[in-house]
Amino acid sequence: MHHATIANSRFPVKELKSWFLATRREFPWREEPTAYHVWISEVMLQQTRAQVVIPYFLKWMERFPNIELLARAPLEEVIKTWEGLGYYSRARNLHEGAKTLVEEFGGKLPSTREELKKIKGVGPYTMGAILSFAFRQKAAAVDGNVLRVLSRFFAIEDSIDLPATRRRIEELAEGILPEKEPWIMMEALIELGALVCQKKPECSSCPLNESCLAFRHHIQEALPRRSKGAKTIHLRRWVGIVEYEGKILVSKGERGKVMADLYEFPYLEEEGGDPTALFSQKLELSLSLQKKLDEEIHTFTRYRATLIPFLFRAEESNSRFCWIEKKKLSKLPFSSGHRRVLQQL
């Protein structure tokens, strides 16, 4: 492979390995990198920093120490254990994946790409991580960290959002991996991106700086290049907390929506008018406003929502909705924005 040959001949493998072994961070999933531990931790790490993931990973392993227990658990319990990590489709995919593993693979993660492709939510990166860190194979696991490191090292100026650029970087990564202990080099590349070759790179402390093309040409700050990202959409939402005889009205996010399987309070897009009248109309309930609560900011996918909560008292119940005792609400999974509103009650 052409790229692999270039990568092997020019890449300072020894220097990176020495750096990594001297600075490697300790994480619970690194202590015992079983395939299950690698799978769960890598999915958690996809959108979340490692330090933040630690308590979630430990809580998850305490509740679901193996694939069988995860597969048997009700989805709501899986979502509740995941609560706070966001991007909840990851938790739903883990649950579905665990069921597939129990039904088709005897409750164990397989060690080939072909079989791993059958597991819901296991994309190229997670697949590479499982094969590399758990099964010790020579497999590239290219995440955002590796894209940053290699696009700078080889001065790749094409957008890393393009599939062709990703494929090229995957080939380069595979070419860098030595035959002996390739998983150490793979983990070292990820660690370098996380600690040194960050968005704002610290080139002076990088073990690759003497050979890095971007550093040599002073373009490290300009790389990696990305296609123009989607703009953040700002929302302002009224949130209605409706109380009737010690119970609070909640509903469940619809399947297929961003907040599927999470509980939420009724809400309206802020468009002016009287909140009491508009919520009374929406919920078909007679409401009286008790007080306005503090605003909360909730960021999810490409949205940034300002939540403006109101506490109402209902004069009657309505069987269309779910009414939950106030003290039981904390046991249900809520989105982080609605969870913060709940904490004000």
Sequential pLDDT tens for the chain (345 residues): 334 434 444 799 999 999 999 999 999 999 888 999 999 999 999 888 899 999 999 999 999 999 999 999 999 999 999 998 988 899 999 999 999 999 999 999 999 999 999 999 899 999 999 999 999 999 999 999 999 999 999 999 999 989 999 999 999 999 999 999 999 999 999 999 999 999 999 999 999 999 999 999 999 999 999 887 667 888 899 999 999 999 999 987 766 555 667 889 999 888 778 889 989 988 989 999 998 998 888 887 778 888 999 999 999 887 778 899 988 998 888 888 898 898 888
Verify whether residue 83 is a known catalytic residue. Answer: no
246 shares a domain with 215: no
Which of the listed residues 195, 222, 249 is the one where a domain comes to its end? Answer: 222
CATH at 330? 3.90.79.10
Same domain, 197 and 265: no
Give the CATH number, domain containing residue 81: 1.10.340.30
Residue that finishes a domain, picked among 163, 192, 222: 222
Looking at 163, 193, 222, which one is the last position of a domain?
222
Asked if residue 240 is part of any domain, the answer here is: yes
- Indicate whether 204 and 300 sit together in one domain: no
153 and 35 co-located in one domain:
yes
Q: Could you tell me the two tokens for 219?
A: 């373009």
Residue 166 lies in a domain: yes
Task: Work out how many domains the chain is built from and give that number.
Answer: 2
Residues 240 and 312 in one domain: yes
Enter the tokens of residue 149. Answer: 């490191």
Do 156 and 291 lie in one domain? The reply is no
- On whether both 114 and 251 belong to a single domain, the answer is no
Any domain includes 228 = no
Whether residue 246 sits in one domain with residue 162: no
Within-domain flag for 227? no
Contacts of 164 (CB under 8 A, 6+ apart): 158
Dihedrals phi, psi of 247, to nearest 5 degrees: -115, 150
Dihedral (Cα; 251, 256, 260, 266), 10-degree rounding: -30
Residue in this structure with the two tokens 């991580």, named with its chain if needed: 129
> Do both 218 and 270 map to the same domain?
no
**CB-based contact 88:48 (threshold 8 Å):** no
> Which residue out of 42, 83, 264, 296 is catalytically annotated?
42
Q: What range does the domain containing 112 cover? A: 2-222
**Residue 75 is assigned to a structural domain of this protein:** yes
Looking at the fold, whether 165 and 262 belong to one and the same domain comes out as: no
Residue 151 falls within a domain, yes or no?
A: yes
Query: What is the longest distance spanned by two Cα atoms in the chain?
Result: 76
Kindly state whether residues 210 and 241 are assigned to the same domain.
Answer: no
Q: What does each C-alpha distance from 215 to 41, 143, 225 come to in angstroms?
A: 32, 21, 15
Does 42 share its domain with 186?
A: yes
Predicted TM-score (pTM) of this structure: 0.74
Give a yes or no: residue 301 inside a domain.
yes
